[in-house]
Amino acid sequence: MPIQFQPSEILETIRMVADEKFDIRTITLGISLLDCAHEEMGPLCERVYEKVVRSAEKLVATGEALEEEYGIPIVNKRIAVTPMAHVTAPCRKGNAADAARALDRAAAAVGVNFIGGFSALVQKGMTESDRNLIEAIPEALATTERVCSSVNVGSTKAGINMDAVALMGRIIKETAQRTADRDGLGCAKLVVFCNAPEDNPFMAGAFHGAGEPETVINVGISGPGVVLNTVRRNPGIRFGLLADRIKRTTFKITRMGELVGQEAARRLGVPFGIVDLSLAPTPAWGDSVAEILEAMGLERCGTHGTTAALALLNDAVKKGGAMATSYVGGLTGAFIPVSEDAGMIRAVEEGTLCIDKLEAMTCVCSVGLDMIAVPGDTPASTLSAVIADEAAIGMINRKTTAVRIIPAPGRQVGDRVEFGGLLGSAPVMAVHPESSEAFIARGGRIPAPIQSMTN
């Protein structure tokens, strides 16, 4: 029987893992907690703990077995649950942060590093339960280690809930204060969304949406390093060919996500959801989205041409990946989290990349203003205004946008905040000193946009 693969193909795969930092970033088990609802917080927390532990007991061992057999690192095994505000809705008394602590204990028991879904979806308005949960976010994030929280404040269909936007500015400030001893680390686990996807496997914004099955496996791939080497190996080629090379590469790395996802789902006896084909950088050099943009011919990420380079990259990633998997979902695109990307950090520290340019970049790529540290004395209304701008981009362009911003207590522009691990370290960036207070104080909703006359 002839060998089925060319030696060059096999060595290419091995090189991706050994030299180009290719990995599956996460397999995330989605779990519905709707059946854990209860009028009292105590029994509710017991049900939540019991269901998460029961549903996810084999998740980590299965991930580790796949890692061994396929020889491809699966960096994180994680859990996403039903937005907790839905589960706590019947519970008129009690502290929603208790539910977060139950999630934290369950995550520790099954050995996952993050559990997402301490969340509320309030794009049009807030229920009492939503408000209680949002008010409990600072305590929840200060008293747990593994819980991630997200709040959806806008959508293309509903517009932007500016009352929620105003509230989230205050909640982010308070979360930073409650975790001031860790430079506001709590805010690194809190995402404010517009058009939040219900099947996103990536933290901190993962939750298990209302249209999802009882349990589901979603996979997030990575691979900036592999794409970076593709671009570097092809200097000076014209854009059409460059896009083609990137597509071929993302096809290959997405196939691994498909394989791992299908097999993990089969072994766990859980339906396979989606592959999220996002380029998720890590703080290591050679695994940076900014470096890819620079390899395309920009002296430094953030200079003129950056948005166009990112648009090409983001689109090629989607096109290559879309054919490689049976189901695409989640965020799908290129991430630009500042603290988690060595090239972004350098560009900020050298003064090329500022918050305004990052905002422009989020118009053409996945997610939004992500892992950005700003001075600790930034007013809540300014944080709300940053969220409003980003939500407006998402709402008008029918895409997901998000803000994960850290007003690091006691820190000034020029300082660097260390979060450790995959969260990296963030240079504190300047925000505009001019006030947005009166704008945010208006309250109400920004109406949903018209869907024709699209210019």
Say whether residue 13 binds other proteins (CB under 8 A): yes
Q: Could you say which of 39, 40, 46, 68 contacts other proteins (CB under 8 A)?
A: 68
Find the shortest distance in angstroms from Cβ 320 to other proteins: 12
The 48-67 contact track toward other proteins, x by CB under 8 A, reads -----------------x--
Give the residue with the Cβ less far from other proteins, 103 or 279: 279
Find the shortest distance in angstroms from Cβ 242 to other proteins: 21
Q: Could you say which of 104, 183, 258, 276 contacts other proteins (CB under 8 A)?
A: 258
Applying the rule CB under 8 A, the residues between 235 and 254 that interact with other proteins are 252
Say whether residue 7 binds other proteins (CB under 8 A): yes
Find the shortest distance in angstroms from Cβ 5 to other proteins: 5
Say whether residue 269 binds other proteins (CB under 8 A): no
Say whether residue 72 binds other proteins (CB under 8 A): yes
Find the shortest distance in angstroms from Cβ 319 to other proteins: 15
Q: Could you say which of 124, 255, 267, 300 contacts other proteins (CB under 8 A)?
A: 255
Q: Could you say which of 4, 451, 454, 455 contacts other proteins (CB under 8 A)?
A: 4
Applying the rule CB under 8 A, the residues between 318 and 337 that interact with other proteins are none
Q: Could you say which of 53, 57, 70, 180 contacts other proteins (CB under 8 A)?
A: 70
Say whether residue 71 binds other proteins (CB under 8 A): yes
Q: Could you say which of 120, 168, 246, 256 contacts other proteins (CB under 8 A)?
A: 256
Find the shortest distance in angstroms from Cβ 259 to other proteins: 4
CA atoms of 156 and 87, how far apart (whole Å): 25
Find the shortest distance in angstroms from Cβ 442 to other proteins: 53
Residues binding other proteins: number (CB under 8 A): 24
Binding site for other proteins (CB under 8 A): 1-7, 9-11, 13-14, 65, 68-72, 252, 255-256, 258-259, 263
